[in-house]
Amino acid sequence: MTTETRWLNAEQQVAWRAYLLGTARLMAKLDDDLRQFGIGINDYEILVRLSEAPDRRLRMADLADRLHQSRSRLTHTVGRLEAAELVRRTSCTSDKRGVWAELTEAGLTLLEQAAPTHVEGVRANLVDLADPDDFAAVGRVFDSVSEHIGQR
């Protein structure tokens, strides 16, 4: 059975390409802003997720799911953060196969130092450029995208 391709119209194509380029540039800018702290955007997001978790720790599998990263990629990144003493890994006593990633005091301190720069970058390069209704719409659209793709 063949189906006809539903091509994007000109307006949709412009919006799609603006999204691709804008997202790539925004993420590169936010990553660059964080380099002065010795971390990148992916490292920062790990530190944030751990800081928000009970006891500032999450099982590695849960952290990978929350970040939508492969477990091998997360293991590599957490290994670097562990070498920098920002995160520590410990065995899960209730499940011998499970491993916790835990934010250290040094990791929390670095996060507290980097957060104002990151938030200002998000504001200056995204939030403040958008009308509040448009920004809210972006959130709704990507909640729908995440929910739709997460169901597959």
Q: Residue 94 carries which DSSP code?
A: S
User: Which residues of the chain fall short of a pLDDT of 50?
Assistant: none
Q: What is the pLDDT of residue 92?
A: 79
Q: What is the pLDDT of residue 3?
A: 85
Q: What is the pLDDT of residue 22?
A: 97
Residue whose tokens read 């063949």 = 2
pLDDT digits (tens, 9 = 90+) for 103-133: 999 999 999 999 999 999 999 999 999 999 9
Kindly list the domain boundaries of the chain, sorted by start residue. Answer: 38-150
Q: What is the pLDDT of residue 114?
A: 98
Q: What is the pLDDT of residue 150?
A: 80
CATH number of 38-150: 1.10.10.10
Q: What is the pLDDT of residue 115?
A: 98
Element (H, E) at 87: strand 87-91
**What does the alpha-carbon distance between residue 38 and residue 35 come to, in Å, rounded to a whole number?**
5
**What does the alpha-carbon distance between residue 72 and residue 81 come to, in Å, rounded to a whole number?**
14
Is the overall model pTM greater than 0.85, yes or no? yes
Q: What is the pLDDT of residue 2?
A: 72
